[in-house]
Amino acid sequence: MARLTIEHVSKTFATSRAVDDFSLDVEDGELVCLLGPSGSGKSTLLRMIGGFEQPTGGSIRIDGQDVTTLPPERRPTGMVFQSHALWTHMNVFDNIAFGLKLRRLGRAEIRQRVEASLELVGLADYGSRQTYQLSGGQQQRVALARSLVLEPKILLLDEPFASLDQHLRERLREEVRDIQQRVGITTLFVTHGQDEALALADRIVVMKDGRAEQTAPPDLVYREPQTEFVAGFIGSMNFIRSEIRNGLFQHGDFALPVTASDGPATLAIRPEAFSLSPSQRGDAATVLRAIDFGTHLMVDLQLFDGTRLKAMTEPGSAWTKGSRAAIRAKAYTVYRDNRVLQASAATAADPVPTRDHAHA
Ligand SMILES: Nc1ncnc2c1ncn2[C@@H]1O[C@H](COP(=O)(O)OP(=O)(O)OP(=O)(O)O)[C@@H](O)[C@H]1O
Ligand SMILES: [Mg+2]
């Protein structure tokens, strides 16, 4: 069992509050991704869990044991950093064996455990290689093996593949997911790639300004973003900024009945949640261009006030440049002050009337 409990953790540096009253429970064997823009506090949080940084406030517990003030080597955590920090004067075997030697294990056991961990990361025959004889991806695998060989209860990965090309990064993250599930190790994975988080995580924590904006499984973060920031950060999203008046969100010819109170509001709609129909109205959306991706057609639209939208429709549907489209939203979320005012069910079948349809 390895359960990580972070309670009200803050970290203030001289001029900035890097982590701000952050709480999170990570279950045994769970893989949680910390996702957020640069400077949102992801590394600082991870470093505090690993013991490389001391919190200004709050507590960190692992299986109930308070580790908040313990040095890294006395914590049951293993950390892999973005830039491979292998020892260049040692070969691969010795890099991985180092921590086991510190623990004064016998030679036979060290050999067996190093070989098992090399096997685990797919580098079975690489023990005698020098680190400069490895590719970037192989170096990161060695770094991972070096952490895993110590059998930590909690694995902390800080953008371990960020310096690698896209293709390799995708492959390695699949491997990490594989290893993580085989070993069943509780894992925190920092990334600022949303694809990475969506592909890997049991749960995602979306961070901003040192705080958790939303903590939820990937599909929920995608379908029900709790803040406007999360809505814009995960996946492709369209925003229409306007006002609610008398129960109607209104923007040009686009009108949507809502239950939220009157006032300024932002409507968020996924490209795939639009449906388009031809319109003759002068204030309907104008098609700027349409790109056929084979599986779907992506239509770029512009509203009367210049707002740009992307709508995904069936392949083969004919939307030519300059034609006009009435827009409907099959699913949407309404935000005010970065908070959800109202969300439609993603499966909502109700047609959302525009004036076009209301007048029809
Ligand atoms: N040692 C430090 N001294 C002062 N400020 C720091 C220190 N480390 C981090 N910070 C600040 O804390 C904030 C959070 O930094 P952090 O490295 O945790 O962000 P991050 O989310 O990991 O960003 P990135 O995606 O760029 O790695 C930033 O504003 C950063 O400048
Ligand atoms: Mg970082």
Q: For the chain, 360 residues long, give each residue's pLDDT as a single digit of tens.
A: 699 999 999 999 988 899 999 999 999 999 999 999 999 999 999 999 999 999 999 999 999 999 999 999 899 999 998 876 788 889 999 999 999 998 899 999 999 999 999 998 889 999 999 999 998 889 989 999 999 999 999 999 999 888 888 888 888 888 889 989 988 999 999 998 888 899 899 999 999 999 999 999 999 999 899 999 999 999 899 999 999 999 999 998 888 999 989 999 999 999 999 999 999 888 899 999 999 998 999 999 999 999 999 999 988 778 999 999 999 999 999 999 999 999 885 444 444 333 333 333
Buried b (16+ CB within 10 A) or exposed e, 183-209: eebbbbbbbbbbebbbebbebbbbbbb
319 and 177 within one domain: no
123 and 9 within one domain: yes
319 and 296 within one domain: yes
146 and 75 within one domain: yes
Tell the residue nearest (CA) to atom 31 of ligand 1: 39
Substitution site in 17, 33, 42, 194 for ligand 1 pocket (most atoms within 8 Å of beta carbon): 42
215 and 111 within one domain: yes
Tell the residue nearest (CA) to atom 27 of ligand 1: 38
Does 231 reside within a domain? no
pLDDT attached to residue 253:
82
Q: Kindly give the distance from the C-alpha atom of residue 151 to the centroid of ligand 2, in angstroms, as a whole number.
A: 24
Dihedral class, residue 98 (left if φ above 0, else alpha if ψ from -120 to 50, else beta)? alpha
Q: Kindly give the distance from the C-alpha atom of residue 82 to the centroid of ligand 2, in angstroms, as a whole number.
A: 8
pLDDT attached to residue 347:
43
Q: Kindly give the distance from the C-alpha atom of residue 328 to the centroid of ligand 2, in angstroms, as a whole number.
A: 40
Does 208 reside within a domain? yes
pLDDT attached to residue 281:
87
Substitution site in 22, 40, 196 for ligand 1 pocket (most atoms within 8 Å of beta carbon): 40
pLDDT attached to residue 318:
80
Domain termination residue (choose one: 167, 196, 223): 223
Domain termination residue (choose one: 223, 248, 265): 223
* The length of the chain, given as a count of residues: 360
H helices of the chain, in order, are 42-50, 92-102, 107-120, 136-148, 166-183, 194-200, 218-223, 228-233, 355-359
Does 335 reside within a domain? yes
296 and 203 within one domain: no
Q: Kindly give the distance from the C-alpha atom of residue 187 to the centroid of ligand 2, in angstroms, as a whole number.
A: 16
Tell the residue nearest (CA) to atom 2 of ligand 1: 13
Substitution site in 44, 163, 211 for ligand 1 pocket (most atoms within 8 Å of beta carbon): 44
Could you tell me the two tokens for 308? 């740009």
350 and 245 within one domain: yes
Q: Kindly give the distance from the C-alpha atom of residue 16 to the centroid of ligand 2, in angstroms, as a whole number.
A: 15
243 and 170 within one domain: no
Does 228 reside within a domain? no
Tell the residue nearest (CA) to atom 22 of ligand 1: 43
Atom of ligand 1 nearest to the CA of 34: 21
Q: What is the CATH number of the domain that holds 122?
A: 3.40.50.300
Q: What is the CATH number of the domain that holds 335?
A: 2.40.50.140
Structural domain total, the chain: 2
Does 306 reside within a domain? yes
19 and 128 within one domain: yes
22 and 86 within one domain: yes
Tell the residue nearest (CA) to atom 3 of ligand 1: 13
Does 229 reside within a domain? no
Q: Kindly give the distance from the C-alpha atom of residue 120 to the centroid of ligand 2, in angstroms, as a whole number.
A: 26
Domain termination residue (choose one: 154, 188, 223): 223
pLDDT attached to residue 56:
97
Atom of ligand 1 nearest to the CA of 36: 21
Does 260 reside within a domain? yes
Q: Kindly give the distance from the C-alpha atom of residue 43 to the centroid of ligand 2, in angstroms, as a whole number.
A: 4
pLDDT attached to residue 84:
64
pLDDT attached to residue 349:
43
Q: Which range marks the domain in which residue 346 is found?
A: 236-359
51 and 138 within one domain: yes
Q: How many CA atoms lie within 13 A of 178 on its CB side?
A: 9
Question: What are the DSSP calls for 4-28, one per residue?
Answer: EEEEEEEEE-SS-EEEEEEEEEE-T
Does 55 reside within a domain? yes
- Kind of pairing, strands 274-278 and 154-158? unpaired
163 and 31 within one domain: yes
Which residues approach ligand 1 with their CB closer than 6 A? Answer: 13, 16, 18, 36, 38-44, 192
